[in-house]
């Protein structure tokens, strides 16, 4: 299994009695592509932050590829995230004052890739395969279109060859044409590299790209402790 | 990559960063210049006189005597009779004596009446004797030897003639214009007040004051130059004199003898001791200046921190992005510290350039106006120490925004 969650409960330290997330049991198979839909405020960001190791569960276990995330130190989690997890946000995926190449290189900074010599070649290959024109590689990110920015974001997320990719509403700021192009590109890259994808969105029209579709309300079984 | 990120992020906030750097540059400039000028003034003063064991003048404060006899600052209160000078100069412990007579000027430069032993025995810096750039020491009554700056500023050559003015004001109305002096020698630069002095013989000074009473000219052209050169011009009084002793051990003994001299109230001082008294008087001022400039620097440091702190608020998404990419919170901490260090180092560089430039521009003025030689070597052991302290202080001050961003980094998911 790529992801296994059991008896997970999360509450913010300020309100320990108020559970934001309660997941009795949930898992994702290796190489699966899963679409999770749900309204905002349904514990979506909390779930993603738990899976990426930015938050630790109040109770319960989270395992990614057989490794227990909840028992790792924060340093180990940072390292694990850098090496194994890619992340694409709705927007602001890139440091605005760095150019595309430097943004991607920055992602290598924190992973084991840092020591490898062929990073530049990989960046070039990746940007070429994402059809970003070479003249835009060294432009400030602000000068790129939103569609281009999201493609560079994919490149940044994939440069460390992650096993798990989290996409958090990545198409919300795109127009329909760009959205379809983005989805096609994302799905082909994920399939090609055998990456486990968790795609979160409220836009149900995207569900037909996926073989697994789940509602967040089915995963998160909050029993309100009043 | 780390450095690039810090630099690019600073470049991205050019406006506020440039202002912070300017504030910091000015504060470091003030700190560096206070320290440098303080150091150089001391150096310059200490170099002015060397090899003189005692300076003798009329009873006054020792600092006052030192200032007017050596640095040509201020005025003597009274004169010493020629007899007293001769008696002390000829005593057994004395190796040489240099009489000094002050009070006249030429275009704002002071005139010093003395004798040939001045050129033989007076030394400055590290026991360096006076050297002539052109010509030779004065011989006749109306010969004058110029300091290097006097010659340069006023454009005098050997053989030129000039008249002296009574008193030290540039615009003095009472001039000794009936009796011109001839330039016979120009001294090599020394970096001391000697450069701004005109040296004449005591006889020359005596001659131009012969028909004066109580500082006022009483007749016009009653005496001619030839009359005077023939007359025996015995000085009646001098302002002060410097003594070189045969043995240093006798210094205190001779000093006591002079201080208890029966015929006239006299004061003998050791230049080194008087100089340290002067530093003691100045140290309060020095410390105050240094404290004020340190406080200005602290204010600039806080300004930089306020800028960094407010930038963190704009960088929320950036922090999240870096954390998601696997950056540990300490990376964010170091990033902010590095930004503070870059700002400080840039400011130090700019402040040094600014100081070097202003020194280069003001050097001539300081020499001409105050006889101060401020060298361009701004990196002394102490100033480098101050720069290190500046860097450390800004690192410590930057802990405030750095810890703040660290906290934000930890809590990015929540």
Please write down the HEC assignment for all residues of B177-238.
Answer: CCCCEEEEEEECCCCCHHHHEEEEEHHHHHHHCCCEECCEECCCCCCCHHHHHHCCCCCCEE
- Answer yes or no: do A78 and B12 touch at CB < 8 A: no
CATH at residue A109:
3.40.50.300
Mean pLDDT of chain A: 88
* Residue B221: predicted pLDDT: 52
Q: What is the DSSP string of A20-51?
A: EEEEEEEEE-TT-EEEEE--TTSSHHHHHHHH
The span from the CA of A203 to the CA of B148, in Å, is 89
- Answer yes or no: do A110 and B325 touch at CB < 8 A: yes
- Answer yes or no: do B328 and A106 touch at CB < 8 A: no
Angle (deg, nearest 10), helices B329-370 and B381-397: 140
The span from the CA of B301 to the CA of B385, in Å, is 18
- Rounded to the nearest 5 percent, the helix, strand and coil shares of chain A are 40, 25, 35
- Answer yes or no: do A74 and B328 touch at CB < 8 A: yes
* Residue A226: predicted pLDDT: 39
What residues form DSSP beta bridges with A4? A27, A63
Average pLDDT score over residue span A80-91 = 90
For residue A105, what is the nearest residue in chain B, using CA coordinates?
Answer: B1
- Answer yes or no: do B327 and A75 touch at CB < 8 A: no
For residue B319, what is the nearest residue in chain A, using CA coordinates?
Answer: A95
The span from the CA of B369 to the CA of B361, in Å, is 14
Token pair of B13 as six digits: 């906030």
Asked whether the predicted pLDDT for residue B184 surpasses 70, the reply is yes
Which of B11, B321, B326 is closest, CB to CB, to A78? B326
**Cβ atoms of B195 and B367 closer than 8 Å:** yes
Average pLDDT score over residue span B208-218 = 63
* Residue A92: predicted pLDDT: 79
Asked whether the predicted pLDDT for residue B368 surpasses 90, the reply is no
The span from the CA of B65 to the CA of B68, in Å, is 6
Kindly state whether residue A225 falls inside one of the protein's structural domains: no
* Residue A14: predicted pLDDT: 85
Burial class from Cβ neighbours inside 10 Å (0-12, 13-18, 19+) for residue B128 reads: middle
Q: How many secondary structure helices (H) and strands (E) does chain A include?
A: 7, 9
Q: pTM score > 0.90 for this model?
A: no
Kindly state whether residue A98 falls inside one of the protein's structural domains: yes
- Chain A hits for B325, CB-CB cut-off 8 Å, are 81-82, 87, 106-107, 109-110, 156
- Answer yes or no: do B331 and A110 touch at CB < 8 A: yes
CA distance A114 to chain B (A): 10
For residue A81, what is the nearest residue in chain B, using CA coordinates?
Answer: B326
Highest mean pLDDT among B167-181, B218-232, B338-352, B373-387: B338-352
Mean pLDDT of chain B: 86
Does the interface ipTM go beyond 0.85?
A: yes
pLDDT in tens, B308-345: 999 998 888 889 999 998 899 999 999 999 999 999 99
- Chain B hits for A96, CB-CB cut-off 8 Å, are 12, 318
Query: Which pLDDT band, with edges at 50, 70 and 90, does A223 fall under?
Result: low
CA dihedral B325, B328, B329, B334 (to 10 degrees): -100
Which of A79, A95, A96 is closest, CB to CB, to B326? A79
Burial class from Cβ neighbours inside 10 Å (0-12, 13-18, 19+) for residue B204 reads: buried
CA distance A162 to chain B (A): 11
- Chain A hits for B406, CB-CB cut-off 8 Å, are none
* Residue A125: predicted pLDDT: 87
Q: Is B327 on the interface with A (CB under 8 A)?
A: yes
For residue A94, what is the nearest residue in chain B, using CA coordinates?
Answer: B321
Strand blocks (E) in B52-180 = 54-58, 80-81, 94-106, 109-114, 123-124, 128-129, 132-135, 143-146, 161-162, 165-166
Q: Is B5 on the interface with A (CB under 8 A)?
A: yes
Burial class from Cβ neighbours inside 10 Å (0-12, 13-18, 19+) for residue A17 reads: exposed
The span from the CA of A202 to the CA of A189, in Å, is 22
The tally of domains found in chain A comes to: 1
* Residue A225: predicted pLDDT: 45
Residues 51-70 of chain A with CB under 8 A from chain B are 52, 54-55
- Answer yes or no: do A78 and B8 touch at CB < 8 A: no
Percent pLDDT > 70 in chain B is 91
* Residue A58: predicted pLDDT: 92
* Residue B219: predicted pLDDT: 54
* Residue A172: predicted pLDDT: 87
pLDDT in tens, B127-177: 888 999 989 888 888 899 999 888 988 899 999 988 888 776 555 556 666
For residue A99, what is the nearest residue in chain B, using CA coordinates?
Answer: B8
Sequence ranges of the domains in chain B: 2-45+279-413, 48-277
**Cβ atoms of A199 and A206 closer than 8 Å:** yes
Average pLDDT score over residue span A152-173 = 90
Q: Give the least confident one: A56-70, B67-81, B104-118, B141-155.
A: B67-81
| Residue A154 lies in domain | 3-219
Query: Which pLDDT band, with edges at 50, 70 and 90, does B256 fall under?
Result: very high
Kindly state whether residue A224 falls inside one of the protein's structural domains: no
Q: Residue B355: which of B22, B45, B32, B3 has the closest Cα? A: B32
φ/ψ of residue A26, rounded to 5: -160, 140
Cβ neighbours of residue B41 closer than 8 Å, sequence gap 6 or more: B372, B374
What 8-state DSSP symbol labels residue B394?
A: H
CA distance A106 to chain B (A): 7
pLDDT in tens, B5-47: 999 999 989 999 999 999 999 999 999 999 888 888 888 888 8
């Amino acid at each position: 299994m790529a992801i296994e969650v059991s008896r997970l409960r999360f509450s913010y330290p300020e309100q320990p009695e108020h559970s934001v997330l309660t997941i009795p049991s949930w898992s994702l198979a290796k190489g699966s592509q899963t679409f999770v839909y749900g309204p905002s405020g349904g514990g979506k960001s909390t779930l993603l932050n738990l899976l990426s190791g930015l938050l630790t569960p109040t109770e319960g276990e989270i395992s990614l590829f057989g490794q227990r995330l909840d028992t790792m130190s924060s340093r180990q989690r940072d390292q694990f995230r850098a090496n194994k997890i890619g992340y694409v946000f709705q927007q602001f995926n890139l440091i605005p004052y760095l150019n595309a190449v430097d943004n991607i290189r920055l992602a290598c900074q924190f992973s084991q890739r840092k020591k490898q010599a062929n990073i530049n070649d990989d960046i070039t290959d990746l940007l070429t395969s994402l059809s970003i024109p070479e003249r835009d590689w060294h432009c400030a990110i602000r000068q790129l279109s939103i569609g281009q920015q999201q493609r560079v974001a994919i490149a940044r997320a994939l440069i460390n060859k992650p096993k798990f990719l989290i996409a958090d509403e990545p198409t919300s700021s795109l127009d329909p044409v760009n959205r379809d192009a983005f989805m096609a590109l994302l799905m082909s890259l994920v399939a090609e590299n055998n990456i486990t994808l968790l795609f979160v969105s409220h836009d149900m029209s995207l569900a037909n790209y996926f073989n697994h579709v789940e509602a967040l309300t089915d995963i998160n079984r909050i029993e309100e402790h009043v | 990559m780390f450095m690039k990120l810090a630099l690019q992020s600073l470049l991205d906030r050019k406006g506020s960063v440039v202002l912070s750097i300017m504030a910091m540059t000015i504060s470091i400039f003030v700190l560096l210049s206070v320290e440098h000028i303080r150091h150089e003034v001391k150096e310059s003063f200490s170099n002015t006189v060397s090899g003189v064991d005692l300076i003798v003048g009329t009873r006054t404060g020792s600092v006052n005597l030192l200032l007017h006899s050596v640095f040509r600052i201020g005025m003597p209160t009274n004169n010493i009779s020629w007899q007293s000078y001769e008696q002390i100069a000829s005593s057994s412990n004395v190796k040489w004596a240099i009489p000094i007579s002050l009070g006249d000027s030429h275009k704002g430069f002071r005139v010093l009446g003395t004798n040939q032993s001045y050129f033989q025995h007076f030394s400055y810096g590290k026991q360096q004797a006076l050297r002539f750039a052109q010509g030779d020491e004065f011989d006749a009554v109306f010969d004058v030897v110029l300091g290097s700056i006097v010659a340069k500023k006023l454009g005098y050559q050997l053989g030129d003639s000039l008249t002296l003015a009574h008193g030290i004001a540039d615009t003095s109305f009472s001039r000794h214009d009936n009796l011109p002096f001839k330039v016979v020698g120009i001294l090599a630069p020394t970096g001391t007040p000697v450069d701004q002095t005109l040296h004449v013989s005591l006889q020359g000074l005596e001659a131009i004051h012969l028909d004066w009473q109580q500082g006022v000219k009483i007749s016009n052209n009653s005496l001619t130059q030839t009359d005077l050169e023939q007359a025996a011009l015995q000085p009646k009084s001098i302002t002060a004199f410097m003594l070189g002793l045969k043995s240093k051990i006798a210094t205190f003994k001779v000093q006591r003898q002079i201080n208890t001299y029966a015929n006239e109230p006299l004061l003998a001082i050791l230049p080194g001791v008087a100089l340290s008294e002067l530093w003691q008087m100045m140290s309060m001022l020095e410390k105050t200046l240094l404290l004020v400039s340190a406080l200005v620097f602290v204010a600039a440091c806080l300004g930089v921190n306020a800028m960094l702190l407010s930038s963190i608020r704009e960088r929320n998404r950036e922090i999240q992005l870096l954390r998601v990419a696997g950056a540990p919170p300490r990376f964010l901490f170091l990033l902010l510290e590095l930004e503070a260090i870059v700002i400080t180092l840039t400011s130090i560089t700019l402040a040094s350039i600014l100081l070097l430039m202003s020194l280069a521009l003001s050097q001539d003025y300081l020499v001409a106006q105050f006889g101060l030689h401020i060298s361009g070597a701004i990196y002394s052991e102490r100033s480098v120490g101050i720069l290190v302290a500046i860097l450390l202080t800004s690192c410590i001050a930057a802990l405030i925004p750095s810890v703040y961003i660290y906290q934000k980094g930890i809590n990015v998911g929540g």
